[in-house]
Amino acid sequence: MVALVSEAQSMNGGGRMTTSDDAETLSCIRHPGRSTVLRCGRCNAPICVACTVQTPVGARCPACAQRRRLPTYEVSRRLYLRAAAAGVAAGLLGGMVISGLLRGLFAIWLAPVFGWLVGEVVARAANLRRGPGLQAIAAAAVLVGAVFGPALPAIVSGRPIGAALLQAVLVAGGDLWVGVFGLLAVFFAVQRVR
Confidence of residue 188 (pLDDT cuts 50, 70, 90): very high
Instruction: Say how far apart CA 104 and CA 193 lie, in whole Å.
Output: 27
Is residue 97 domain-shared with residue 176, that is, in the same domain? yes
The residue from 17, 32, 65 where one domain ends is: 65
Is residue 32 domain-shared with residue 107, that is, in the same domain? no
Pair type for strands 53-55 and 58-60: antiparallel
* Pure H helices in the chain: 2-11, 62-65, 77-101, 105-125, 132-148, 152-156, 161-174, 176-192
Is residue 92 domain-shared with residue 188, that is, in the same domain? yes
The residue from 34, 65, 96 where one domain ends is: 65
The residues, any chain, with a CB within 8 Å of residue 10's CB and separated by 6 or more, are: none
Q: How many domains does the chain have?
A: 2
pTM: 0.63
Instruction: Say how far apart CA 159 and CA 32 lie, in whole Å.
Output: 77
Q: What is the pLDDT of residues 54-105, one digit of tens each?
A: 888 888 888 888 767 777 888 999 999 999 999 999 999 988 888 776 665 6
Is residue 81 domain-shared with residue 13, that is, in the same domain? no
Residue pair 107/53 in contact (Cβ under 8 Å)? The answer is no
The residues, any chain, with a CB within 8 Å of residue 189's CB and separated by 6 or more, are: 115, 116, 118, 119, 122, 138, 139, 141, 142
Question: Which residue range forms the structural domain that includes residue 162?
Answer: 71-192
Highest mean pLDDT among 47-51, 61-65, 143-147, 175-179: 47-51
Is residue 45 domain-shared with residue 136, that is, in the same domain? no
The per-residue pLDDT for 17 is 36
Is residue 60 domain-shared with residue 77, that is, in the same domain? no
- For residue 154, the SS3 value is helix
The residue from 12, 35, 65 where one domain ends is: 65
Is residue 35 domain-shared with residue 85, that is, in the same domain? no
CA-angle at 106, arms to 101 and 112, nearest 5°: 95
The one-letter code for the residue type at 51 is C
Residue pair 188/119 in contact (Cβ under 8 Å)? The answer is yes
- Per the DSSP assignment, residues forming a β-bridge with 27 are 35
CA gyration radius, the chain? 30
Is residue 121 domain-shared with residue 168, that is, in the same domain? yes
Residue pair 17/5 in contact (Cβ under 8 Å)? The answer is yes
